[in-house]
Amino acid sequence: MNSKKSNILILILLALSFFSLLSAAEQPIDTKEFVHQIYNKYMDNDFLAVYEFIHPEIKEVLDKKAYIDFQKKNTEKYNIEISEVEVVKIVNLEKLPEIFKEIFKDYNFEYIYEVTIEYKSTYTVAKNKQEKFVEKKTYIVTDQNKDYLLWDPDIIKKD
C-alpha cells in the first residue's frame, strides 16, 4: 500500500512540474533580459530592431522612418556609442507614466515597469572624445502576455 501511495505522489509531482513548465513557457520573458535585448540592438545601432520592440499603439503615432532617421542622425552627429548596459532597478508601477497617457487613453496593461538602467556613453563633442555613465529610466509594459518598449514620440518633435 505504501508503494502505491508513493507512486501516486510521484505522478502528482510530475504532473505539477509539467504544468508549471507549460505556464512558464507562456509567460513574457524576464523584464531584465528584455531590456538587455533592446539595448543590445541600440549598441549595434540596429534602430529598426529597436523600433520593433515598441508598442503598436505608439507605432501608430511614431513613423518608423522618422524614428530610425532620428536615432541615426543623433548617433552619427555625436559619434555616440553605448556599452556596459546594466539594469539597476525594476519597479512595478500601478499607473502609466503621464507622458504616455495621451496615447493610451483606455489601456489596462497586465504589468507596467519602470526600469532604471545605467550605461557608458562615448561620444564626440568639438572633435574631443568623451565618455560618461548615464542613468535613465525606460518603460516596459506587458500587454496581452507580450512585452513592449514604451518610447516617447514627442522626443522627435523636440529635436
Alpha helices in 27-153 (DSSP H): 31-43, 47-53, 56-59, 64-78
Distance CA 59, CA 99 (A): 15
The pTM score is: 0.79
Beta carbons within 8 Å of 156's beta carbon, 6+ residues apart: 62, 66, 67, 70
Per-residue model confidence as pLDDT tens for the chain (159 residues): 456 655 565 555 444 444 444 433 333 459 999 999 999 999 999 999 999 999 999 999 999 999 999 999 999 988 999 999 999 999 999 999 999 999 998 889 999 999 999 999 999 888 899 999 999 999 999 999 999 999 999 999 775
SS3 114: strand
Domains present along the chain, CATH in parentheses: 29-158 (3.10.450.100)
